[in-house]
């Protein structure tokens, strides 16, 4: 938690136009090796005596896009390089060939010619690689088919108890090759390991929460800089996205957690708008759904602000209805009982229903109709290594979970789109904590923040 760039205060004092000198390259902040090891052991406990084989994300082939590791692979291995495989052999004392727990990271051989492009890599022959990886054993990738062949030859029961990421080219190829080496007509089917990692990933440990808070901190700062310094008539949506990106990266984040949505006027009513190519006008609302990723962990924050610094009466009315819906969901929250993202709003404990009922019983459209029909999406989602962490919705919200609450009302006819999104943690004692609580939230707070920026430039 050390590497911080400019403090919030410095950013707010200096404002836009500041040219920053490049700071030291930020490597990912990893949790202790013991944490990743414990996750592998926990996964092994769910394998029903089977073996898990996970592959790292492929490296983009010289297309100049930065590499991002596969989320499950990173969660289990903390290894941020392409071309690797992780094998977890679960403890199976009753198996045909009794097995004890084992974990092996398979690494591709170094390619010295490609290292001119990629930089220096480690492989199984690199001294100290096991300590660097924090995995019990590191082997050359060429050994993986042989290892699998040995395991299945000793216990044919494993043939249909291999857990892999479904649909990945590497897993399909390996299972096909295994069929050939075993002289089998059929390849092992491979069971879906992500069904086992999903519930593990949903409950965050302290280190993960600390990383999410770092992502929150930088994202809050960027949102604040946005509303205080950058939003004004004549500014482009893209300039806002760029200014926020600068704040994220200066504060140690490696990338946006998703494509920034900076939608003004009519674009505020487009849910996943990301062209960001309009010039903002006096009287517009601006919806900014933008946040960053810190050491592989996401933040996800939306604020909606008036471009000229003042909500109209109608904009303020809609804004406060959306905020009221969010507050109603927060007030109704009960750990272990409430659910999120209940699309059909059929679950009796659904927070979506609470928020929908609030919106549908407050305010009217231009035709005297209730506003519920202008809310088009779920109330929130799980968040972690991915901005939308995997889940089978609706999810019952439990201690250790991190999720968003993000009601919205989008009325194209009035060029009004409002979404307010905050990220929440359920604590061990069942309390709901707003991770973005320090960011202006009410209409009054947003107007005050925008005025503060204007005052300072005079």
Angle, CA of 363, 397 and 337, to the nearest 5°: 80
- Residue 223 · residue 248 · CB < 8 Å: no
Which range, of 146-154, 173-181, 397-405, 433-441, touches Mn ion by CB under 5 A? 397-405
Q: Say how far apart CA 245 and CA 238 lie, in whole Å.
A: 10
User: Is 331 buried (19+), middle (13-18) or exposed (0-12) by CB count in 10 A?
Assistant: exposed
Contacts of residue 332, defined as CB under 8 A and 6 or more positions apart, other chains included, come to 338, 351, 354
What is the nearest approach in angstroms of Mn ion to the Cβ of residue 423?
Answer: 8
Tally Cβ neighbours within 10 Å of residue 336: 11
- Beta bridge partner(s), residue 51: 89, 162
CB 52 within 8 A of CB 163: yes
Q: Does 327 bind Mn ion (CB under 5 A)?
A: no
CB of 372 to Mn ion, least distance (A): 20
Cα–Cα dist 111/118, whole Å = 10
d(CA 134, CA 56): 16
Q: Find the binder of Mn ion among 339, 404, 407, 432 (CB under 5 A).
A: 404
Q: What is the DSSP letter of 265?
A: G
Question: What proportions of the chain, in percent to the nearest 5, are helix, strand and coil?
Answer: 40, 15, 45
How many residues at the interface with Mn ion, by CB under 5 A? 2
Least Cβ distance, residue 151 to Mn ion (angstroms): 41
- Only one of the segments 267-275, 326-334, 358-366, 400-408 lies at the binding site for Mn ion (rule: CB under 5 A); that segment is 400-408
Smallest distance from the beta carbon of 35 to Mn ion, in angstroms?
26
* CB-nearer residue toward Mn ion: 276 or 404: 404
Nearer to Mn ion, 106 or 424 (CB): 424
Tell me the window of 15-23, 63-71, 147-155, 296-304 that interacts with Mn ion (CB under 5 A).
296-304
- Using CB under 5 A as the binding rule, the residues of this chain from 199 to 238 that contact Mn ion are none
C-beta separation of 134 from 37 below 8 A: yes
In the bound state with Mn ion, the residue whose beta carbon lies nearer, of 1 and 376, is 376
Cα–Cα nearest to 284, from 295, 268, 298, 299: 268
In the complex, minimum distance from the CB of residue 405 to Mn ion, in angstroms, rounded to a whole number: 9
Pick between residue 306 and residue 408 the one whose CB is nearest to Mn ion. 408
Stretch that binds Mn ion, among 193-201, 297-305, 312-320, 439-447 (CB under 5 A): 297-305
Q: Between residues 144 and 409, which has the closer beta carbon with respect to Mn ion?
A: 409
Footprint on residues 25-44 left by Mn ion (CB under 5 A)? none
CB of 442 to Mn ion, least distance (A): 20
In the block, tokens 């009601």 appear at: 407
In whole angstroms, the minimum distance from the beta carbon of 404 to Mn ion comes to 5
Q: Which of 457, 448, 458 is nearest to 16 (CA)?
A: 457
In the list 300, 320, 386, 389, the residue contacting Mn ion (rule: CB under 5 A) is: 300
Question: Do the strands 422-426 and 402-405 form a parallel or antiparallel pair, or are they unpaired?
Answer: antiparallel
- Residue whose C-beta lies closest to Mn ion: 300
Taking CB under 5 A as the binding criterion, the range among 18-26, 145-153, 295-303, 361-369 that sits at the site for Mn ion is: 295-303
| Nearest approach, Cβ of residue 406 and Mn ion (Å) | 5
Structure tokens at 198: 């999903």
Instruction: Kindly state the smallest distance separating residue 327's Cβ from Mn ion, in Å.
Output: 18
Closer by beta carbon to Mn ion, 390 or else 453? 390
Q: DSSP letter at 274?
A: -
Q: CB of residue 300 vs Mn ion: minimum separation in angstroms?
A: 4
* Ranges of H-type helices in 310-442: 313-332, 351-360
Q: Which stretch binds Mn ion (CB under 5 A): 10-18, 87-95, 244-252, 399-407?
A: 399-407
Tell me the pairing of strands 408-411 and 416-419.
antiparallel
Q: Which residue, 85 or 402, is less far from Mn ion as judged by CB?
A: 402
Query: From the CB of residue 127, how many other CB atoms can be counted at a distance below 10 Å?
Result: 8
Q: How far is the CB of 324 from Mn ion (least distance, A)?
A: 19
Two tokens at 39?
């996750």
Q: Which is nearer to Mn ion, 144 or 420 (CB)?
A: 420
Residue written as tokens 């043939």?
Answer: 159
Stretch near Mn ion under the rule CB under 5 A, chosen from 160-168, 345-353, 402-410, 447-455: 402-410
Closest CB to Mn ion among residues 284, 389: 389
Which chain residues interact with Mn ion by CB under 5 A?
Answer: 300, 404
């Amino acid at each position: 938690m050390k590497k911080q760039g400019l403090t919030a205060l410095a950013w707010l004092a200096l404002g836009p136009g500041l040219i920053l000198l490049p700071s030291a390259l930020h490597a990912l902040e990893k949790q202790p090796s013991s944490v990743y090891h414990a996750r592998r052991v926990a996964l092994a406990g769910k394998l029903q005596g089977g073996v898990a084989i996970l592959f790292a994300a492929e490296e983009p082939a010289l297309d100049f896009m930065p590499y991002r590791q596969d989320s499950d692979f990173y969660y289990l291995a903390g290894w941020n390089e392409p071309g690797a495989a992780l094998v977890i052999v679960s403890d199976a004392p009753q198996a045909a060939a009794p097995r004890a727990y084992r974990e092996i990271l398979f690494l591709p051989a170094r390619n010295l010619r490609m290292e001119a492009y990629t930089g220096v890599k480690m492989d199984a022959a690199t001294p100290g690689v096991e300590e660097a990886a924090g995995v019990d054993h590191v082997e050359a990738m060429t050994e993986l088919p042989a290892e699998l062949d040995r395991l299945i030859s000793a216990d044919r029961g494993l043939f249909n108890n291999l857990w892999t990421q479904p649909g990945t080219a590497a897993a399909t190829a390996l299972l096909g090759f295994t069929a050939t080496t075993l002289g089998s007509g059929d390849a092992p089917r491979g069971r879906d390991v992500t069904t086992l990692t999903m519930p593990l990933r949903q409950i965050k440990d302290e280190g993960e929460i600390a990383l999410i808070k770092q992502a929150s901190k930088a994202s809050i700062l960027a949102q604040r800089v946005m509303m205080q310094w950058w939003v004004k008539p004549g500014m482009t949506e893209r300039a806002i996205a760029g200014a926020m990106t600068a704040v994220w990266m200066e504060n140690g984040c490696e990338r946006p957690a998703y494509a920034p949505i900076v939608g003004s006027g009519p674009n505020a009513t487009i849910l996943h708008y990301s062209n960001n190519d309009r010039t903002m006008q006096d009287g517009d609302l601006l919806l900014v759904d933008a946040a960053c990723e810190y050491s592989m962990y996401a933040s996800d924050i939306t604020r909606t602000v008036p471009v000229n610094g003042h909500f109209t009466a109608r904009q303020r009315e809609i804004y406060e209805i959306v905020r009221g819906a969010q507050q109603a969901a927060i007030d109704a929250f009960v750990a272990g009982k409430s659910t999120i993202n209940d699309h059909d709003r059929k679950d009796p404990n659904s927070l979506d229903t609470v928020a929908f009922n609030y919106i549908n019983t407050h305010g009217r459209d231009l035709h005297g109709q209730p506003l519920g029909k202008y809310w088009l999406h779920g109330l929130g989602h799980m968040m972690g290594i991915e901005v939308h962490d995997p889940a089978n919705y609706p999810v019952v919200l439990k201690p250790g979970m991190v999720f968003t609450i993000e009601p919205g009302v989008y009325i194209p006819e009035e060029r009004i789109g409002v979404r307010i999104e905050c990220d929440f943690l359920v604590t061990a004692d069942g309390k709901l904590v707003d991770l973005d609580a320090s960011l202006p939230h009410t209409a009054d707070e947003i107007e005050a923040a925008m005025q503060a920026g204007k005052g300072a430039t005079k």
